[in-house]
Structure 1
Amino acid sequence: MTVPTATALDAETPGAAAASAAPRPPAGKSALAHIGASFAMFRNRKSLTGLAILGFFVLLAVFGDLIAPYGPLEKDYSALKQPPSWQHLLGTSHMGEDIFSQIIYGTRGVLVVGLLSGVLATAIAVAIGVTAGIVTGWKSESLSALTNVFLVLPGLPLMIIIASQFEDPSLLLIAAVLALTGWAWGARVLRAQTMSLRNRDFVQAARANGEPLGRIITVEMLPNLMAIIASSFVGTVTAAVLGLTTLAFIGVIPITNLNWGTILFWAQQNGAFPDYWWWYIPAGLCIALLGMALSLINFGIDEYVNPRLRSAGERSRALRKKGMTARGAVTAVRTAPGAPGRGTASSASSPASGTADSPTRQENL
């Protein structure tokens, strides 16, 4: 008995040779596709718009020394409370300080505190939330109780009490205070999602193979939690920015920590409302724009995480490519091949429309 060779098998099996000769994608391409899939949450219009606005503020913070025409505390006593002009684009304060330069320099403090607070709060939320979700018994209940305590604590009074204990708190200390009061919500969400993941088949298989708990968390669970972690990070940064400007506006943070809230504080203290609009409206608009940018990024991440929102977004984008809107119902009437056109005598003499013998059919797009 002779064993058929591979060439003979390919000749006998239709398409086998073509399948074996088909080019395989290079390894580098699959790696790039995996990296691209990690950033798929930032591909929709909401996320791109939010990233563009956030990138604008990041450029202001990084290159503020080159963009600002004056120093943040440089005074021009010949121009006190002057409206916007070519010399001072956003007017001046009661001491002749350029508002435009103060806003540019204040951007750096806002972003530094927001990002540091977001990183610290997210790290605490991941450590406590994932651990509380993977362990069982009294350990899980204790971590859950700790999270619940920080959830019900009043955030703003606690921030005021802690920040007021220091005469000149640094940006790192302010970020730590904001992170201490803002990690609990992310930890609660991560705990619930981790409890759902720990009963999945791939996690149970890893446990059956004897893999250590640390590897199960870092390799098996964290990649499936990255979208939720990103959403928690963006939400924490938003809360930290609002908390920083609130603390500066009410005078808890010293005036040496220049930010947008400090500008609003001095505007209120010197009676800028409502006549000297250039003193407080630009700072308020910057806070609103940064909050909107972070919210748009968060909406984009939510659309990526939620399967229903993701499928609805993909369907809407597909309809827009065809020149249609997702909200409009369009009914296209197509004539069957070989049937007489609409408006002829044969179609008019049809006894009933919509039956099996009707030459036309309706298709809802």
Structure 2
Amino acid sequence: MTALLTTTTPVAPPSPRRRGGGFLRSLLHNRKAMIGLIIFIVFTVLAVVPQLFTSVTEPNKLAFPPALPPSSEHWLGTTSLGQDIWAQLVYGTRQSLVIALVAGFFATVLSVLVGVSAAYLGGVADDVLSMIINVFLIIPTFPLIIILATYAGKGTLSVVIIVLIITGWSYGANQMRAQALSLRNRDFLESARVRGERRSYIIFREMLPTMTSLIVANFLGAALYSVLTAAGLQFLGLGDPNSISWGTMLYWAQNQQALQSGMPLWSLAPGCCVALLGVSFALLNYAFDEFSNPALRPVRRRRRAAA
């Protein structure tokens, strides 16, 4: 008898996919994310190293002839007070970006703490925290901002940031509570309770990692809110008029009647920068919504090569 020997070729195990590779690939192929990220990087570079983009070291100093038109020496001209508009625009990026990131970060942290705690604890704690969230949601926001900024003492950056945090956390907290309520009775959380894990462990190690995309989206929304609201506060004169930011540039341009005096770039340049930074956060927010929600992802036709 002849024995038939069959040889099987070993199948190579699938190569492990690196964590974050799918997210990075989705980010690079998403036009909204790439446009928003490029705009944000440009403003970040301007904020970190402004001296690379202008030779003026003291943008508030009255060192030039007033109301000069745009030229090779003064790209956007000068103000009616003799200040270089381009230098103020570049140096003003730092404060505007700091307000957006710091206020957005702490508003998001407060939203996560209040919203997730209310949903997980339940009972009386949920009722009390939900009532606080609803109270802040129904209060008219901008009048409250003006009142807080006026009575807290205008003139400091910290006051503007604190006011933005107080008025900007409630909407995100409501979203966090709704998402945490849908996760509270999931099997992986029940197993953690059965194991005897602490509440802090369950919230921070089990629940929050599943809400990462929603947390990032809330941070971008809070940063967008902070950019626009801070510019509005400073435009109304509720910030420090001697500081360098886009909002204070708009305040002084309005105060000196820049549009009527033939200096439109004094008003248009900071207004466009505020709008561009807001567009950056909005596009990144839409992109993260698409990453987290498959129903929002655009349907693309995949071309298959002929065998």
- TM-score by length of structure 1 reads 0.76
Contact 1:120-1:176 within 8 A present in 2 as well: no
Letter in 2 for 1:135: L
Letter in 2 for 1:42: L
Q: Which residue of 1 aligns with 2:10?
A: 18
Which structure's relative contact order is higher, taking Cα pairs within 8 Å and 6+ residues apart? 2
Task: Report the CA distance between 1:130 and its aligned residue.
Answer: 0.6
Task: Report the CA distance between 1:159 and its aligned residue.
Answer: 1.9
Contact 2:133-2:170 within 8 A present in 1 as well: yes
Q: Which residue of 2 aligns with 1:148?
A: 134
Q: Which residue of 2 aligns with 1:289?
A: 276
Structure showing greater Rg: 1
Deviations 1:50-69 (A, max 9, x none): 01100000000000133222
Distance in 1 (CA, whole Å) between partners of 2:231 and 2:108 is 20
The alignment partner of 2:168 has SS state of coil
Q: Which residue of 2 aligns with 1:47?
A: 33
Distance in 2 (CA, whole Å) between partners of 1:42 and 1:156 is 34
Letter in 1 for 2:278: G
What is the aligned-residue identity percentage? Answer: 38
Q: Which residue of 1 aligns with 2:247?
A: 261
Distance in 1 (CA, whole Å) between partners of 2:187 and 2:159 is 43
- TM-score by length of structure 2 reads 0.90
Distance in 1 (CA, whole Å) between partners of 2:241 and 2:156 is 12
Deviations 1:221-263 (A, max 9, x none): 1111000000000000010011110011011112122211111
Q: Residues 242, 53 of structure 1: CA spacing in aligned structure 2 closer, same or farther, 3 A cutoff?
A: same
Contact 1:150-1:181 within 8 A present in 2 as well: yes
1:127 alignment partner, one of 113, 118, 121:
113
Distance in 2 (CA, whole Å) between partners of 1:234 and 1:67 is 27
Distance in 2 (CA, whole Å) between partners of 1:253 and 1:240 is 13
The alignment partner of 2:79 has SS state of coil
Instruction: Output aligned runs, 1:119-268, within 5 Å.
Output: 119-167=105-153, 169-268=155-254
Q: Which residue of 1 aligns with 2:63?
A: 76
Task: Report the CA distance between 1:278 and its aligned residue.
Answer: 1.4
Distance in 2 (CA, whole Å) between partners of 1:194 and 1:23 is 37
Distance in 1 (CA, whole Å) between partners of 2:83 and 2:97 is 22
2:96 alignment partner, one of 110, 113, 129:
110
Deviations 1:30-88 (A, max 9, x none): 5xx223346566341111110110000000000013322212112235x2111211111
Q: Which residue of 1 aligns with 2:267?
A: 280
The alignment partner of 2:19 has SS state of helix
RMSD: 2.1
Distance in 1 (CA, whole Å) between partners of 2:158 and 2:54 is 25
Q: Which residue of 2 aligns with 1:88?
A: 74
The alignment partner of 1:272 has SS state of coil
1:306 alignment partner, one of 286, 293, 297:
293
Unaligned ranges ≥5, structure 2: none
Distance in 1 (CA, whole Å) between partners of 2:225 and 2:246 is 15
Distance in 2 (CA, whole Å) between partners of 1:270 and 1:24 is 67
Contact 1:126-1:229 within 8 A present in 2 as well: yes
Unaligned ranges ≥5, structure 1: 1-10, 323-365
